[in-house]
Amino acid sequence: MQSNQLQKYPLNEDVINYYMKLAIEQSKIATEKLEVAVGCVMVKFTNNDQDHEIITQSHNKTNQYGNATLHCEINCINQILDKYGQNYDENQIFKQITLFVTCEPCIMCAYSLSLMGIKEVYFGCYNEKFGGNGTVLDLNTANYGANTYPSYGGFLEEECQQVLKQFYEKGNLNLDEDKRHRRKKKEDKHESISS
């Protein structure tokens, strides 16, 4: 059900790749910190996409805080809310924000982005196990009572996948020995990714 494969997308590919590379940098920071290697950048585009500025960026922090919901997309949402504080208005902020993320948002993040009213999403590799932007569920397009948003996948896909692969080869050191090996076997068998 990969309905969001490379297709017509509004942004120039050089711009997309520029921000995807920054997201990849974040995913590498995650690896160094023994977090699942996914990173993202949220960017505000104005003036018919001619002007753009980074609003915030993050990587997964689930191990650092022992909180399984702290995926990079959720961290960015929270950072924006912290930054704008009482002036927060989802229609004014998130509707102008484009997300660049190394791996397709999982079901939790895809729906959270919908609730916040994000403008659009560009992602690197597909999330075969938990993808919420077309691979497992279509939470960005189906009408679940929240906002819909366009999502485009496959940008710098191999590079994004490579960082995740290196992370899994190294093993998630926060898991105990037994689980770590089990997980690796499972990942190898299904070639799947969890963000």
Quick one: 18 or 111, whose CB is closer to Zn ion?
111
Best CA proximity match to 52, nearest among 20, 96, 85, 106? 96
- Burial (CB count <10 Å: 0-12, 13-18, 19+), residue 183: middle
Q: How far is residue 119 from each of residues 82, 96, 105, 149, 180, measured CA to CA in Å?
A: 19, 6, 14, 6, 37
Residue 104 a catalytic site member: no
- Burial (CB count <10 Å: 0-12, 13-18, 19+), residue 160: buried
Quick one: 18 or 144, whose CB is closer to Zn ion?
144
- Least distance (Å) between residue 105 CB and Zn ion: 5
Contact positions toward Zn ion, by CB under 5 A? Answer: 71, 106, 109, 195
Best CA proximity match to 55, nearest among 30, 75, 33? 75
- Least distance (Å) between residue 139 CB and Zn ion: 11
- Least distance (Å) between residue 13 CB and Zn ion: 25
CA distance linking residue 149 with residue 95, whole number of Å: 9
The one catalytic residue among 35, 73, 104, 120 = 73
- Least distance (Å) between residue 185 CB and Zn ion: 23
Quick one: 18 or 64, whose CB is closer to Zn ion?
64
CA distance linking residue 194 with residue 77, whole number of Å: 20
Quick one: 33 or 181, whose CB is closer to Zn ion?
33
* Residues with a known catalytic role: 73
